[in-house]
Structure 1
Amino acid sequence: MKQEKSFSPMSGYFMIFSVLILILAGVFGLAIIHHPAFVIAILAAIFLLPGFVIVNPNQSVVLILFGEYKGTVKANGFFWVNPFFSKRKVSLRARNLDSDPIKVNDKIGNPIMIGVVLVWRVKDTFKATFDVNDYSNFVAIQSEAAIRGMAGAYPYDNFEDEQAEITLRSGGNEVSELLEKELSERLEIAGIEVMEARINYLAYASEIAGAMLRRQQATAVVAARFKIVEGAVSMVEMALEQLKEKDVIELDEDKKATMVSSLMVVLCSDKDATPVLNTGSLYQ
């Protein structure tokens, strides 16, 4: 398989000077000597003109002679090449691909919406020009395929897969590295270098978003209640121990049960407790 090769062109300034000399010689020769041979000088100058090429920074020119690849000019400046060369300009600048969110299934099968930002550039001008039809379109299509492959390797979160250490929502660098690897393998055929790839949009699909939101809210409520009960039990235990140590009051099992019940209601209630004054004994 052919690879990119460098081409060293001639200086364009030297050749433009030569073309000007040919044109001036031909014009003055025809005007003064009136000999038709000077027409050849003018025709030669016209023939040389298509060979001039300007290569801007971070730009390259692929040279082709009658269907044969001759090389790539990556040096910046004003040059001259064979006028029969076909010249294709290929940008070497970094480009951004901000993909629209697409619907895919995660590892568990939940439909999610995911979009990525890809920073890429052309590394091998031969592959980008001759191995694919349109390398920009190739990057867009293969990026979507890579997103689907990466999304299927991880769950959205670990609510349903508690053993998952890496998820799309919290994976961070690990998910980005997998995405970059997936994209690099797919885009290598086109001579594309993946500079950066990361997720910029992630959400549940609309048909399950409401249910998943309620599940997350329920999980948060359960976790909060767990902490409240855990703290209430610790406070009741501490209260009983201090009452016993300071010998403030002697409580039998029934009194302890009543006290624990009252404290748990006060501490675990989601609203402020309303006190009820007992004018009798604890057993009434």
Structure 2
Amino acid sequence: MSHAIVETPARSTNGYLMAGAGFGLVAFAFFVLTRAGNPLLAGAFFLLGVALLAGLYMLAPNQAAALTVFGRYNGSDREAGLRWANPLAFKRKISLRARNLNAPILKVNDARGNPIEISAVVVWQVRDSAQALFQVDDYEAYVRVQAEAAIRHLATSYAYDDGEDLPHNAITLRSGQDEVARALITELQARFADAGVEVLDAKISHLAYAPEIAQVMLRRQQAEAIISARQKIVHGAVSMVEAALKGLSEREIVHLDDERKAAMVSNLLVVLCSDKDTQPIVNAGTLYS
């Protein structure tokens, strides 16, 4: 970028005193004109009073005025109320209040290449009035464009959700919301620095798979959930069978050979792992004719 312009305090003063002086000079000019009959002297006092009044401007709380004289930046005034500065200075006001940017929903590819929809809400405010007004052409448009670029870059840096191809405890857009928000704030601040804008907060407001793959990904998530549940069921069933065999052996309730143990294990696993109610078959003995 070109030579950076940073905010400096402007030379200004209390506007109420200067307003009183200006109106006093105008009134004195009419007095000279009517009593002394000297139009030249009256005109001089009148022009001086008007010049003083031309330097007045009003600032609201959390508002600044950047002063330029013949295209040269002469500082910024942040004092609220009626102020006065050089009458030849052009006063360009700018708001220093916090603002919300609700970014549009963007369709991008995540780190895996899956198309997703993502959006974010950014809270920002002008930190340096000189940079915001003179370092970029339109600081509000600059913030919008850079915010969209940062969100796109964020989406391509992380996967949407966990998967087998990701390392354990990897940060994803869905599970690592706090870490992702911090990364978004850091990138936004780096992009907004040239415009004198500070990021106060940023959060993802919308996150979803793109419509064309949403149903496929939903079935994938359901399949992963079923597999995970089955793994827990099998692990629990094996533990229960092991405990049953150990209890029978320790209490000497029944002595089973390896073949009968295998049959018992098979039957117990079928009962414990089945997703439907099982119907027991009672062996009542053999009927001889």
- The alignment's TM-score, normalised by the length of structure 1, stands at 0.93
After superposition, residues 209-224 of structure 1 pair within 5 angstroms as: 209-224=214-229
Match of 1:79 in 2: 83
| Mapped pair 1:90 → 2:94 | yes
- In 2, the alpha carbon distance for the partners of 1:174 and 1:258 equals 52
Query: Is this contact kept in 1: 2:21–2:52, CA < 8 A?
Result: no
After superposition, residues 7-46 of structure 1 pair within 5 angstroms as: 7-37=10-40, 38-46=42-50
- In 2, the alpha carbon distance for the partners of 1:265 and 1:86 equals 86
- In 2, the alpha carbon distance for the partners of 1:48 and 1:261 equals 101
Match of 1:273 in 2: 278
- In 2, the alpha carbon distance for the partners of 1:253 and 1:280 equals 23
After superposition, residues 187-198 of structure 1 pair within 5 angstroms as: 187-198=192-203
Query: Is this contact kept in 1: 2:12–2:83, CA < 8 A?
Result: yes
After superposition, residues 147-158 of structure 1 pair within 5 angstroms as: 147-158=151-162
- In 1, the alpha carbon distance for the partners of 2:267 and 2:115 equals 47
Structure 1 runs not aligned, ≥5 long: none
- In the TM superposition, residue 171 of structure 1 has moved relative to its aligned partner by 2.2
- In 2, the alpha carbon distance for the partners of 1:34 and 1:18 equals 22
Q: Which stretch has the larger CA shift, 242-251 or 272-281?
A: 272-281
Match of 1:117 in 2: 121
- In the TM superposition, residue 66 of structure 1 has moved relative to its aligned partner by 1.2
- In the TM superposition, residue 17 of structure 1 has moved relative to its aligned partner by 1.2
- In the TM superposition, residue 253 of structure 1 has moved relative to its aligned partner by 2.9
- Amino acid in the other structure paired with 1:125: S
Q: Which stretch has the larger CA shift, 75-84 or 37-46?
A: 37-46
- In 2, the alpha carbon distance for the partners of 1:21 and 1:229 equals 95
SS of the residue corresponding to residue 173 of structure 1 reads helix
Query: Percent identity over the alignment?
Result: 48
Match of 1:159 in 2: 163
Query: Is this contact kept in 2: 1:155–1:161, CA < 8 A?
Result: no
Match of 1:104 in 2: 108
Deviations along 1:146-177, one digit per CA (max 9) or x if unpaired, are: 11112111111221532162211122333222
- In 1, the alpha carbon distance for the partners of 2:84 and 2:32 equals 26
- In 1, the alpha carbon distance for the partners of 2:165 and 2:97 equals 42
Deviations along 1:32-91, one digit per CA (max 9) or x if unpaired, are: 344323233233322322210122221100001111111111122321112111111011
Query: Is this contact kept in 1: 2:237–2:272, CA < 8 A?
Result: yes
- The alignment's TM-score, normalised by the length of structure 2, stands at 0.91
Count of residue pairs brought into register by the alignment: 281
Match of 1:207 in 2: 212
- In 2, the alpha carbon distance for the partners of 1:147 and 1:97 equals 12
- Amino acid in the other structure paired with 2:262: A
- In the TM superposition, residue 110 of structure 1 has moved relative to its aligned partner by 0.9
Q: Which stretch has the larger CA shift, 158-167 or 239-248?
A: 158-167
Match of 2:254 in 1: 249
| Mapped pair 1:238 → 2:243 | yes
Q: Which stretch has the larger CA shift, 25-34 or 91-100?
A: 25-34
| Mapped pair 1:136 → 2:131 | no
- Amino acid in the other structure paired with 2:121: V
- In the TM superposition, residue 117 of structure 1 has moved relative to its aligned partner by 1.6
- In 2, the alpha carbon distance for the partners of 1:143 and 1:20 equals 49
- Amino acid in the other structure paired with 1:32: R
SS of the residue corresponding to residue 152 of structure 1 reads helix
